[in-house]
């Protein structure tokens, strides 16, 4: 099998910025593009294959056609035709709402859906960009509700100044918010279930505030307080550095100036590459050669045994993720 590229699904939002279009070298003249869904099996927002013999197929149709060869035997047994990961670029010109996502058990009970554990990799950030992740002090569920109603919930959330290369792991249940000036690659379970906790009392063009899910969120929140919600890692050149390993995905970053061969012979999973800087040539064991540059995402099938990465002059930085 060959690797797959998909047409991006561009989502216009109230809080979207102007970084996605040039980053992905797109010609569309769109305003407030907040998200580019790179690989998605979410109903009514499915990725479509951009080129090759399977061009025009949705991701679900692609899984249905290729089954274990695409996703791996264990993944197909567990997920069937539901692709397990959702990959996005997020560009925030304004603060996103304070929100939380349910875990698998709660999401299944309420929505017949997967839960939503995710991670953020900061691709770029304005000098004053910040985000929020987790609580800064212990609070009770009742205090949480009180603080939502009196608009002080942000007073008990941990806030971080961010820069390119920062990583945050967000298990289901962790309260969080992406701040203005943040440009982020997001890897998550395939789920579009979000409980909006607080939206800064913003109003849309019709003068209406967006719906809050205060009570739904109350039972989904993990109220545990950690000393630091950032993900620390050693930044190394020319070798993989693991960022996150959890039951839902494993993600590493490659910062390369030299040729590297990635060995997947013993991996029973698809592999996704997300390019965040520079460019390279990719050659797999079947002889398929692709150019790969910042803003692109590629899905390699589970039959892929190895991929050789040949960096362009100036190098390449990309994320690798699989289940």
Q: How confident is the model at residue 203 (pLDDT cuts 50, 70, 90)?
A: confident
Q: How confident is the model at residue 149 (pLDDT cuts 50, 70, 90)?
A: very high
pLDDT of residue 253: 98
Supply 8's token pair: 């991006």
For residue 232, is it within any domain?
no
Q: How many Cα atoms are found within 13 Å in the side-chain-facing hemisphere of 185?
A: 30
pLDDT of residue 141: 97
Instruction: Find the mean pLDDT for residues 12-22.
Output: 93
Share of the chain above pLDDT 90, in %: 95
Residues 208 and 74 occupy one common structural domain: yes
Longest dimension (CA), the chain: 60
Alpha-carbon gap, residue 292 to 153, rounded angstroms: 42
pLDDT of residue 132: 98
Residues 186 and 270 occupy one common structural domain: no
Terminal-residue alpha carbon distance, the chain? 19
Instruction: Find the mean pLDDT for residues 216-223.
Output: 98
Residues 194 and 269 occupy one common structural domain: no
Question: Over 80: is that where the pLDDT of 204 sits?
Answer: no
pLDDT of residue 304: 98
pLDDT of residue 145: 97
Residues 188 and 275 occupy one common structural domain: no
Tell me the pTM.
Answer: 0.96
Q: Is 5 helix (H, G, I), strand (E, B) or coil?
A: coil
For residue 156, is it within any domain?
yes
Alpha-carbon gap, residue 99 to 92, rounded angstroms: 15
Alpha-carbon gap, residue 116 to 33, rounded angstroms: 22
For residue 225, is it within any domain?
no
Alpha-carbon gap, residue 97 to 211, rounded angstroms: 11
Alpha-carbon gap, residue 147 to 25, rounded angstroms: 42
pLDDT of residue 191: 95
Residues 108 and 159 occupy one common structural domain: yes
Residues 173 and 251 occupy one common structural domain: no
For residue 249, is it within any domain?
yes
User: Could you list the residue range(s) of the whole structural domain that residue 292 is in?
Assistant: 241-322
Residues 94 and 47 occupy one common structural domain: yes
- CATH number of the domain encompassing residue 252: 2.60.120.10
pLDDT of residue 8: 96
Tell me, rounded to whole angstroms, the distance of Cα 318 from its chain centroid. Answer: 13
Residues 215 and 177 occupy one common structural domain: yes
Question: Over 80: is that where the pLDDT of 56 sits?
Answer: yes
173 burial type by CB count under 10 A (0-12 exposed, 13-18 middle, 19+ buried):
buried
Residues 29 and 80 occupy one common structural domain: yes
- The secondary structure of the chain in percent helix, strand, coil, rounded to multiples of 5, reads 15, 40, 45
Instruction: Find the mean pLDDT for residues 197-218.
Output: 90
Structural domains counted in the chain: 2
pLDDT in tens, 240-288: 999 999 999 999 999 999 999 999 999 999 999 999 999 999 999 999 9
Instruction: Find the mean pLDDT for residues 166-177.
Output: 98
State the DSSP string of 248-287. S-EEEEEEESS-EEEE-TT--S-EEEEEEEEEEEEEETT-
DSSP class of 174: -
For residue 233, is it within any domain?
no
Question: Over 80: is that where the pLDDT of 12 sits?
Answer: yes
Residues 35 and 115 occupy one common structural domain: yes
Q: How confident is the model at residue 30 (pLDDT cuts 50, 70, 90)?
A: confident
Alpha-carbon gap, residue 22 to 323, rounded angstroms: 30
For residue 236, is it within any domain?
no
Instruction: Find the mean pLDDT for residues 207-232.
Output: 95
pLDDT of residue 75: 98
Of 186, 220, 254, at which residue does a domain stop? Answer: 220
Show which residues are catalytic: 196
Question: Over 80: is that where the pLDDT of 130 sits?
Answer: yes
pLDDT in tens, 81-117: 999 999 999 999 999 999 999 999 999 999 999 999 9
For residue 153, give Cα distances in angstroms to 97, 146, 196, 290: 12, 8, 12, 47
Share of the chain above pLDDT 70, in %: 100
For residue 229, is it within any domain?
no
pLDDT of residue 318: 98
Tell me, rounded to whole angstroms, the distance of Cα 82 from its chain centroid. Answer: 17
CB contact at 8 A, 156 and 132: no
pLDDT of residue 27: 86
As a whole number of Å, the CA-based R_g of the chain is 20
Question: Over 80: is that where the pLDDT of 205 sits?
Answer: no
Question: Over 90: is that where the pLDDT of 29 sits?
Answer: no
Residues 77 and 205 occupy one common structural domain: yes
pLDDT of residue 202: 87
Mean pLDDT of the chain: 96
* Three-state secondary structure of 58-99: EHHHHHHHHCHHHHCHHHHHHHCCCCCEEEEEEEECCCCCEE
pLDDT of residue 139: 97
For residue 228, is it within any domain?
no
Question: Over 80: is that where the pLDDT of 126 sits?
Answer: yes
pLDDT of residue 293: 97
Residues 245 and 207 occupy one common structural domain: no
């Amino acid at each position: 099998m060959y690797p797959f590229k998909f047409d991006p699904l561009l989502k216009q939002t109230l809080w979207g910025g102007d970084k996605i279009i040039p980053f992905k070298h797109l010609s569309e003249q769109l305003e407030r593009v907040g998200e580019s869904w790179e690989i998605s099996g979410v109903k009514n927002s499915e990725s479509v294959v951009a080129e090759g013999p399977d061009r025009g197929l949705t991701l679900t149709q692609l899984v249905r056609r290729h089954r274990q060869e695409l996703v791996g035997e264990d993944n197909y047994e567990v997920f069937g035709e539901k692709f397990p990961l959702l990959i996005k670029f997020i560009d925030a010109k304004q603060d996103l709402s304070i929100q939380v996502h349910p875990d698998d058990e709660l999401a299944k009970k309420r929505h017949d859906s997967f839960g939503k554990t995710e991670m953020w990799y900061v691709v770029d950030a304005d000098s004053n960009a910040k985000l929020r992740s987790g609580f800064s002090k212990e609070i009770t569920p009742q205090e949480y509700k009180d603080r939502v109603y009196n608009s002080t919930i942000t007073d008990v959330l941990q806030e971080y100044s961010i820069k390119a290369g920062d990583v945050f792991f967000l298990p289901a249940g962790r309260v969080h918010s992406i701040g203005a000036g943040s440009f982020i690659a997001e890897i998550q379970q395939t789920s579009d279930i979000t409980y909006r906790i607080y939206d800064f009392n913003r109003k849309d063009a019709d003068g209406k505030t967006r719906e809050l899910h205060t009570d739904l969120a109350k039972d989904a929140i993990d109220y545990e307080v950690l000393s630091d919600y950032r993900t620390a890692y050693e930044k190394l050149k020319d070798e993989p550095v693991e960022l996150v390993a959890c039951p839902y995905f494993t993600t590493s970053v490659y910062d390369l100036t030299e040729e590297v061969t990635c060995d997947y012979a013993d991996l029973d999973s698809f592999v996704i590459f997300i390019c965040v800087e520079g460019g390279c040539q990719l050659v797999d064991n079947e002889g398929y050669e692709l150019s790969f540059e910042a803003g692109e995402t590629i899905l390699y099938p589970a039959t892929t045994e190895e991929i050789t990465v040949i960096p362009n002059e100036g190098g390449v930085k990309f994320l690798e993720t699989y289940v």
